[in-house]
Amino acid sequence: MENNLLKVLNFIGLTTTTSTPDKKNLGKSIVPVQLPRIKQDTLTWRTAIEEMERAYFPFRYLAQQLYIDTKLNGHVQACMERRKDLTLLRDWQITDEKGNLDEATTAMLTQKWFSTYIDLTTDALFFGYTLISLGDVINGKFKDIQTIRRWNVSPDRMVVMNVPYNPTGVDFRDKEYYNWHVFVGTPNDIGTSTCGYGLLYNVGILEIFLRNILGYNGDFVEMYSQPYRIGKTHKTEEAERNEFTQSVANMGSSGWMVTDTDGDTVEFLESALGGTGWQGYENFEQRIEKKISKIILGHADALDSVSGTLGATQGEESPTATALKDKQTKDGNFVADNINSELLPRLKNLGFKIPDGARFEFKNDSEISENNNKLTALAVEIKKAGLQMDKDYFEEQTGVKLSNPVVAPIATPKQTIENRIKNLYK
């Protein structure tokens, strides 16, 4: 693959050398070569793994080629979007060194480019890594923030290659490029690289089977579900027979033909040979989709079930809701760590007014509300038992200030008689 690609580049007049890279976007130094879309099967999946795990000169070209096809699957795409929404739809804030809300800095970063940055950061969870080019700053905003092509990025060498399989490239950690580029990596759980392979590494093989099932099912429908057309004719002239044949072959949703009154007939035969064979495709498809949901969302029914009902007992959350909440917390910590350790220092270097000690964090309003509801319910149960929750403890745990109840004055007997007389003569 490497030698063939280099030969093609030389043949069309492109070399592996390039001019001085753009310090604000190393993606502009990449030679514009299209990534081929190839047929993926278990062999290409295995070859991609071997290429990533090489002891010498590992590359991610075949893996990323596999991933962009894996992402086209509807179920995989839906799972990815659901996983990302768990993070993208959360409220966030910037706090000062004391943990208090920094309204000015939060307002400054509440822009579209910052949401895009969070979006691109979460992509690393699926693809293994992302190199984000911040681009130029115009009026305090990054106008061209984007992901640099992953098949031109080597996380093992920390360089951007102007062509795939180039063993050398531009180190995006160099001082000249550092402030304009942010690398988002993931941990490698088998120790074969300093960077992980992403969730699509495990999903890829399942998606290949899922894609094949769709093709097999299409063949099944074509063979056994559609009526078989039979045309009978006494025509002997070649032109007439061809015209009759084309009429039978091209019948669609509104097909028609003209036949002679004697001799020409058209029959439609429906096959019952399919039996229950179609159920095998459906069953296998559902099992694979559940496994993909488990890998990406943490639960087989996380995409289709109603949160809060499946398998839940009274007072408990469903396994589905628990799995999604765990992924949300995990991904939130991943994004927050990257922003605090990588993005905010770069913004400060580029002249953004980022105070010392400023930190990005996601709000936990839903968690606080949930805890408050549980504590309130507990206080009610304690009251029913004839006891009372300590007022100071309740305020400390919930942050809700309580006041003494307003007690209505008790009517005296005299007042009661006067009121009765007044009511009598109204």
The phi and psi torsions of 277 (rounded to 5 degrees) equal -60, -30
Amino acid in the structure at residue 91:
D
SS3 92: strand
CB atoms within 10 A of CB 136: 14
Q: Rounded to a whole number, what is the largest CA-CA distance in the chain?
A: 120
Strand partners for 147: 132
Q: What is the pLDDT of residue 237?
A: 76
pLDDT digits (tens, 9 = 90+) for 85-115: 999 999 999 999 999 999 999 999 999 999 9
CA-to-CA distance for 95 and 106, rounded, in angstroms?
Answer: 8
What value does the mean pLDDT of the chain take? 82
CA-to-CA distance for 75 and 52, rounded, in angstroms?
Answer: 26
Strand partners for 95: 101, 359
Buried b (16+ CB within 10 A) or exposed e, 8-17: ebeeeebebe
CA-to-CA distance for 102 and 114, rounded, in angstroms?
Answer: 16
Residue 280 above 80 pLDDT? no
State mean pLDDT over 20-32: 89
CA-to-CA distance for 138 and 352, rounded, in angstroms?
Answer: 12
Q: Are 362 and 336 in contact (CB under 8 A)?
A: yes
Alpha helices, H only, 53-182: 61-70, 74-88, 103-109, 112-127, 175-178
| Residue found under tokens 């913004």 | 347
Q: What is the pLDDT of residue 364?
A: 84
CA-to-CA distance for 345 and 356, rounded, in angstroms?
Answer: 10
Measuring CA to CA, how many Å separate 178 from each of 132, 170, 326, 354? 11, 11, 33, 18
Q: What is the pLDDT of residue 17?
A: 47
Q: Are 263 and 304 in contact (CB under 8 A)?
A: no
Residue 147: pLDDT band by 50, 70, 90 thresholds? very high
Q: What is the pLDDT of residue 188?
A: 95
DSSP codes, 190-236? SSSSSS---THHHHHHHHHHHHHHHHHHHHHIIIIISPEEEEE----
Residue 290 above 50 pLDDT? yes
- Output 240 or 350, whichever has higher pLDDT: 350
pLDDT digits (tens, 9 = 90+) for 329-382: 999 999 999 999 999 999 999 999 999 999 999 998 565 555 556 666 676 777
Residue 254: pLDDT band by 50, 70, 90 thresholds? low
Q: How many residues does the chain have?
A: 426
Amino acid in the structure at residue 314:
Q
Residue 170 above 60 pLDDT? yes
Compute the Cα dihedral for 186, 189, 194, 197 and give only its sign.
negative
Using alpha carbons, select from 48, 90, 59 the residue that is nearest to residue 335: 90
CA-to-CA distance for 162 and 165, rounded, in angstroms?
Answer: 9
Where along the chain do its domains lie?
228-269, 364-426
State mean pLDDT over 11-32: 73
pLDDT digits (tens, 9 = 90+) for 178-218: 999 999 999 999 999 999 999 999 999 999 999 888 766 66
Buried b (16+ CB within 10 A) or exposed e, 223-240: ebeeeeeebebeeeeeee
CA-to-CA distance for 123 and 128, rounded, in angstroms?
Answer: 8
Measuring CA to CA, how many Å separate 397 from each of 98, 355, 394, 419? 20, 30, 5, 46
Residue 315: pLDDT band by 50, 70, 90 thresholds? very low
State mean pLDDT over 395-406: 64
Residue 420 above 90 pLDDT? no
Q: What is the pLDDT of residue 7?
A: 57
